[in-house]
A = this chain, B = another copy of it.
Amino acid sequence: TIDGDRLWRSLMDLAEIGAYDDERTGLRGVNRLALTDADAAGRRRVIAWMEQAGLAVRVDRMGNIYGRREGTDPTAAPVLTGSHIDSVATAGAFDGCLGVLGGIEVVRTLNDRGITTRRPIEVGVFTEEEGVRFGTDMLGSAVAAGRLTLEYAHGLTDRDGRTLGGELARTGFDGPADVRLAPPYAYVECHIEQGPVLAENGVEVGVVTGVQGISWQEITIHGRAAHAGTTPTHLRADAGLAAAQLTVHLRAMVDSGAYGDLRATVGHLVVHPDLTNIVPARAELTVDLRNPDDAQMARAEEALAAFLRDLEGSRPGLSSTTRRMAKTGYVPFDEGVQKVIAQAADDHGLAHVSLLSGAGHDAQEIAALCPTAMIFVRGEYDGISHNPREYSTPEACAHGVDVLATTLLRLADQ
C-alpha cells in the first residue's frame, strides 16, 4: 500500500497553487486554467516532485510532461499512468491532480520498497484536459495520440485571442520532445468519479468500462438590437430570447427521454450589447451534449440543428451559426486492463463496481494507442465536481492509489 498521508499532503500543496476564496460559500477553490501563470507554477511543482522521485522528465511540443522510471528490460514498452493538473475556473483539489500525484506516489512507494519492474513506468501530465480555456477538451492527449494535429492545437485561441502555441512559449512549456507518443504497453488513469454512482453503491472504488460521447458546439444567434420600451413585441428579433428558448428546449429534450441517456448543458452564454433597455442583437452560447450511445447523440445533434433552423424561420431577422468545438464518440475501455484493476481492488479487500464515465478523460485518447482503463475514486456530496465543494476523503484517495499501484505493478511485470 502507498503512503496515504504523503499523497494527501501533495494534493493539498498543489491545491494552494491557483487557490481562491469563494466569498459566497466560504469554500476555498482552485482556478488553474491551462497555461496560465498558476498552471505553469503547478507544473514546475510537479516536475520538482518527479525529479525528487528520481524520474527522468521530458516535455513535448504540446507541453505534455512525462516522468520515466526505468525498468529492467530496456526494450519493453512502458506502462503509462497520469492525468492532468489544469482546472476549470471553479475547481476543487482532486480533478486530474489525483491521477498525476497518485502516479508519483506509486513511484515513491516503489522507491521506498526498492522494487524494480520489468517495464518502465511513466507518469504523464496532459495539457488542457478541461478544454475551458482553448475550447477543446483532452487536447494534449488527443495530439499525443494523433487524433488532433499540433497545428490545430497551437492555433486555438482563448477569449482574449491568445494562442495556445504562444502561451506554451510564454510559460516555457514548449518542450522539445516529439508529441506523438510511442504506444505504451498499457495506460491506467486514476481519477475522481465526479458523479454519484460509487456513493450510491456504497463503494470507494470503481472500474471504468468506458467514456460516453461528448459533443461541444458554440452557437451564435444573430437578431436585431432594438429599444426595449418602444419596439412592439411582434417586430423584435431577440437573440437573447432565442438563446433562452434553445436552453429550455435542450432541457425538454433531456426530460423527454427520447434521446436515450442524454445530458445537455449551456455553460457559456453572453449577449450583446448586454444593456438593460436593448433587445439583444446577438447571443453566443455553448452547448455541451453527452450521450453513451453514438446513434442517440447523432439524433440529439440533429434535433438541435432542426431547432435552430425552425428558429430562423420563426422570426425575420433571426439567424444562427454553429462552430464545432469538440466531439468524441463513446470509447470502450480494454477488458483485460479492467480485469487487472478489479483483481487489484479485490487484493486490497476493496468492494468495487463497474461504471461508465460521464466526464471526458485523457484515457479515452490514449486508448487509441494501447489497452487502457481507469480507476474511479468516490466523491462526497453526490460527487459534485467543477465546484470548490468537490471532495474525496483521504481514505478513498489512498485506496484508489493503492489499486493503481498494484495494477501498474502487475502490468509492468507482464
Interface residues of A (CB under 8 A from B): 24, 88-90, 130-132, 135, 137, 193-196, 212, 214, 216, 222, 224-233, 235, 238, 240-241, 243-245, 247-248, 251, 254-255, 263, 265-271, 273-281, 286, 288, 290, 325, 357-360, 382-387
Contact = CB atoms under 8 A, between A and B. Distances in A.
Nearest to A211: B229
Given A248-B248, A281-B90, A387-B281, A230 B267 contact: no
A364 to B, nearest CB: 12
A380 to B, nearest CB: 13
B240 A384 contact: no
A263 B212 CA distance: 43
Contact of A195 (B227, B240, B288): B227
A267 B240 contact: yes
B263 A267 contact: no
B276 A135 contact: yes
3 cross-chain pairs, A with B, having the tightest CB-CB distances, nearest first = A230-B358, A244-B247, A195-B230
Given A228-B290, A248-B241, A255 B233 contact: yes
Contact of A194 (B214, B230, B233, B360): B230
Given A90-B275, A265-B278, 12 more contacts: A24-B222, A89-B275, A90-B273, A194-B231, A195-B232, A216-B276, A216-B277, A227-B358, A240-B266, A244-B266, A267-B271, A267-B280
Nearest to A89: B273
A363 B49 CA distance: 70
